Structure 1
Amino acid sequence: MIKLTRLDGEPFVLNAELIRYVERRPDTFITLTSGDRIVVVESMDVVIERAVDYQQKKHFMPMPRVMAG
């Protein structure tokens, strides 16, 4: 999940797994796998950086401990 900001200043959290592509025109448009589009305040580079950071952190999360019964 990545934290972003709508054009009206409202923050929200987006599941980065749903990002299909990101465009700059001049606002930043995020197209989701569903076809929905979201316009955000953050630059295209910031959105990409947060999405990549999310993916990297996801793979480094430790596995949950299994309790012996």
Structure 2
Amino acid sequence: MIKLTKLNGEKFVLNCEQIVAIECIPESKIILHNLSFYIVRETPDEIIQKSVEYLMLTHSLNIHPKV
């Protein structure tokens, strides 16, 4: 899950694994698997960075089995 900001300043959390595409219009339009979308203040590069960090964290947790 990544934290993003709508154009009105409202913060929300999005499951980045549902992102299909990001358009720059010039705001960022995030399109999801179900074809719904969000328009946010963050740039595509920021969204990608947040998604990569989240995915690295979740995958690293799965690498180390719990004893």
CA distance in 1, matches of 2:18, 2:65: 23
State the aligned residue count. 65
Residues 9-64 of structure 1: CA deviation (Å, up to 9, x unaligned): 00000001110111111010000011001000111110011011111111101444
Q: Percent identity?
A: 38
After superposing on structure 2, the runs of 4+ consecutive aligned residues of structure 1 that deviate more than 3 Å are 62-65
Residue identity matched to 1:26: P
Residue identity matched to 2:48: I
Unaligned runs of 5+ in 1: none
RMSD between superposed Cα atoms in Å: 1.1
CA distance in 2, matches of 1:4, 1:13: 6
TM-score by length of 2: 0.89
Residue identity matched to 2:29: F
The 1:17/1:26 distance shift into structure 2, 3 A limit, reads same
TM-score by length of 1: 0.87
CA distance in 2, matches of 1:18, 1:63: 26
Higher helix share: 2
Unaligned runs of 5+ in 2: none
